[in-house]
Structure 1
Amino acid sequence: MNVVKTRVAVSAMVFCLMSAPTLAEDLRVTVWTGNDAHLKMLNGIAESFKENHPDVIVKFETVPVSDYTQKLTFQVAGGNPPDIAWMMEDAAPAFENAGLLMDIGPTVKAAQGYDFDDFSQPAMALWQKGETVYGIPFSTSPFMIYYNKDMFDKAGLEDPLALAAKGEWTLDKFQETAKKLAEANPGKWGFEFKDGEGYASRMTHALLPSIRAYGGDIWTNGQCGFDKPEAIAAVKQLHDMVFKDKSIVPPGEQGDYFSGNSAMTDNQISRASKMPEAGFNWGIAPLPTGPGGESPVIGQAGLVVFEQGKHKELAAQFVAHMTDKENVATMAQFFPPARKSVLDSEAFINGNKLVPAEQMKNVSSAITKGRVHPAHEKAPQILAAMAPRVDALWKPDANVEDALKGVCAAIQPLL
């Protein structure tokens, strides 16, 4: 009798397990945006994934950009990585070389209609070694000059877009203009570095555009470039703007372009989503040129899947979905694409409701002509070694050349 009851109970349990609905699977995706428009778009893409994966719930977790890579590293080291992460270009080599990223090539290439060859080869260079694909770039975004047209008009100055159209938007003109803007708008600044950072964080993003425009680089082929004549001349000019002209927001001060306290900043096209709340007329122009000519700087970010992730194959399928032609075209309103078919389309030029087509053409041109921010597998250690040396640079009486030689002395062993 007991045997019969046991068999019945076991049969009932098996039937319940077989007939029970499939439990939903959660995919964790870490991002560094908390912007409502970005998250609305991302959640829309996640919702469309459910058409073929009805039991999958995609959750986007926002981590502040200032310590994003550090927190991501801690999660991985602690055995709790997200399934998918946005990854900055400077951090990618370290994660790749440590064997922490899944080869998602077979999955994305097998996705129906994916057309892997549509991705620009230069854009894929950082994310692919041979046939191994460590990530798919979702944003290949050049740095542009955002400007407050109202402040330019008040100062009686031509704006950067007009100057660029005449071939007069140079670093010398940039310095002259920033000083006049600060003088015409007491209590405000002519320029601030990206997101009001550049001293304690985003050090390379603050210095690289000018160094490239002078014909140099921060490092290349394992050699430090900070102590080269081109870099020294570029940084001296920035130093003069901070401490002599008093036109760039100095260390310890907060300019905040987006609230109208700085006339110009450099940033990427995704920041256009913040402009409707700014309350002033604005525009986007190319970076100023220098002795080295036109040298756009591109910041890149990719989608990666972690080897330790709980749902690797499913995560790779979501990356394929998120970076197919349709969704890349959707994301292009905020994140300039690496897909050639989307970048070359009228839909991209006209797709950003906030930025006029003529200004978006400058974005497209910069992607074509620009170079990605230098990457290195030891980027976190390099930035940590740079920090105290860069601190010494941003003093009123600093010897710029000696400070930059100090930077190279600190980071060359790591390069």
Structure 2
Amino acid sequence: MRKKLAAVSAAVALLAGAAGCGGGTDKVNDGPVSLRMTIWSSNEAHLTLFKQIADAYRAEHPNVEAITFDSLPLESYTTTLTTQIAGGKAPDLAWIFENSAPDFVSSGALLPLDETLKKAEGYEYGDLAPAPLKLWQRDGHLYAYPFSNSPFGIFVNKDLVGQAGRESPAKLAADGKWDWTAALDTAAAVNAKTGKAGLVVRDWDYKAWDNLSTIWTGWGAQSWSEDGKTCGFDKPEMVEAMTVLHKAIFTDKALPGPGAGADFFTGEAGMTITQISRAALLKDAKFAWDLLPLPTGPKGSYAVIGQGGVGVLKRSPNAAVAADFLAFLTNPANSAKLAQFFPPPRTSLLNAGTLAKTNPLLTPEQLQRVVVDGIATGVVKPNHTGQAELSQAVRAALDPLWQPGADVPSVLGKVCQTITPLLGK
């Protein structure tokens, strides 16, 4: 396993070494070109929209014969992408998660995008908000476009909450009582009264631990310090947050335990923490639902943002064409279309009225309090250089926590013992 992780962690570095071997020219090729872009989603609505935009680009650029979107499994997305890179099968464009942004941006693997985007007709580069760009910049250049800036919220199955005899989360929020105590109490009641899962942290599944930042940030906890050098898992705020979470899982049954999955979108859970890109799954929902901001924690209200950047691989023989397509994909008109799933960094589009035009399933109020306000105040999920090895180390060190009777402070202390040498690299 250590050898495999080392290979994955090194893949981006290998690509950087090969970055100068062809590709990355400023000239857009005139000959026949086919582009491939890796993405995490296989959602039909997402893919349909991507393909429509790609077809419009191809209609204006006859030399581009095909643009394909390669959906990779979410749980192994970055591993698969870096394996493709190491194996000489890198895509032309790639969706990059925020947790691996530092590795990709610092590696030299990506083509700088500034010049292409600024020169694109009607692009309005100045419309891009500075804050969302920060993670994707180095030495004054933008190496990936933060295509998706999506705050996490809580989707609520109003029917199950009602069957559990609990006040609606919307009413609690209106009364200033929507906090983690109330949310976990509601989740526990749903499980006790209906037999359904209470609260599901989507895509966590006791593996993707960084999704738990949607909870612990409410306590002011951090996985590591802002400079990335000091472990935060053993700090009092994290110990308190994880103690509350452990009790919610193993004593109160507010969250399903290890190995017990439940899909909110098919009616199997009272609540789920996820992003608005999943709202499309509720198009034909057979239950009443709502969307709320994350509950307040001991440190008050907060928001957590998941970002996805799209970059052009420098070693692609069609890098210039790929960058040109990226400029088309993210221009004002197409950003407005894509905003129904992926909130863009464009200030002109980051208002409830504009977003509501392409998000018919969500109300302007939901979009304002979860998306617009969340982007304005939120922190990005944990990210660090050497993320592949670091993430696996955290996951393995946290495993003893996910059983009844676990000593929370002891486990979290051992997490820090494990990852401190990695943070120092």
Moved more, 289-298 or 346-355: 346-355
Cα distance in 1, alignment partners of residues 283 and 355 from structure 2: 20
Give runs of aligned pairs for residues 122-201 of structure 1, distance below 5 A.
122-186=131-195, 188-195=196-203, 197-200=204-207
Whether 2:245 is the aligned partner of 1:233: answer no
Aligned-residue RMSD, C-alpha: 1.3
1:245 aligned onto 2:252: yes
Corresponding residue for 2:77?
Answer: 68
1:154–1:184: 8 Å Cα contact kept in structure 2?
Answer: yes
Displacement of 1:223 in angstroms is: 1.5
Match of 2:224 among 213, 219, 226: 219
Partner deviation per Cα, 1:194-250 (whole Å, 9 max, x = no partner): 13x3312x1111x21221101121112221111111111111111001100012011
User: Which TM-score applies when normalising by structure 1?
Assistant: 0.91
In the alignment, residue 44 of structure 1 is paired with which amino acid? Answer: Q
Partner residue of 1:397 out of 381, 384, 405: 405
Number of the residue aligned with 1:50: 58
What is aligned with 1:208?
213
User: How big is the shift at 1:350?
Assistant: 3.8
**How many angstroms apart in 1 are the aligned matches of 2:81 and 2:170?**
38
Q: Deviations over 1:31-85 (max 9, x none)?
A: 1111111011111111111232123121101101100000000011111100001
Aligned to 2:7: none
Secondary structure of 1:91's counterpart equals helix
Q: Highest Rg: 1 or 2?
A: 1
Specify the SS of the correspondent of 1:191. Answer: strand
Distance 1:325 1:142, change over 3 A: same
- Structure 1: where are the runs of 5+ without partners? 1-21
The residue matched to 1:58 in structure 2 has which SS?
A: strand
Alignment counterpart, residue 308 of structure 1, candidates 315, 332, 338? 315
Q: What is the aligned partner in structure 2 of residue 39 from structure 1?
A: 47
SS at match of 2:131: helix
**Secondary structure of 1:90 counterpart:** helix
Q: How big is each residue's C-alpha offset from its partner over 1:145-194, in whole Å with a ceiling of 9 and x where there is no partner?
A: 011111012122222222222211111111211111111112x1111111
Task: Select which of 122, 140, 157 maps to 1:113.
Answer: 122
For 2:98 and 2:317, the matched residues in 1 are separated by 24
2:271 maps to which of 264, 267, 270 = 264
Q: What amino acid maps onto 2:89 in structure 1?
A: N
SS, match of residue 307 in structure 2? strand
Residue 80 of structure 1 is matched in structure 2 by 89
Residue number among 28, 32, 35 corresponding to 1:27 in the alignment: 35
The yes-or-no answer on 1:386 pairing with 2:394 is yes
Which residue in the other structure is 2:286 paired with?
279
SS in 1 for 2:368: helix
Q: 1:333: how far off? A: 0.5
Distance in 1 of aligned mates of 2:107 and 2:361: 40
Residues 224 and 232 in structure 2, CA contact (< 8 A), matched pair in contact too: yes
Q: CA deviation at 1:23?
A: 5.8
User: 4+ residue runs of structure 1 moved beyond 3 angstroms?
Assistant: none
- Please give the alpha-carbon distance, in whole angstroms, between the structure 2 residues aligned to 1:24 and 1:162: 58
CA distance in 1 between counterparts of 2:291 and 2:353 reads 19
Residue type of the alignment partner of 1:203: W
Aligned counterpart for 1:103 among listed residues 90, 96, 112: 112
**5+ unaligned residues in a row in structure 2: which ranges?**
1-29
- Secondary structure of 2:308's counterpart equals strand
* Partner SS for 1:280: coil
Aligned-pair CA distance for 1:258: 1.5
1-structure distance, mates of 2:55, 2:252: 51
Q: Distance in 2 between matches of 1:286 and 1:352?
A: 17
Aligned residue pairs, count: 390
Question: What is the percentage of aligned positions where both structures have the same residue?
Answer: 39
TM-score by length of 2: 0.89
CA distance in 2, matches of 1:42, 1:134: 21
Distance 1:138 1:395 in 2: 38
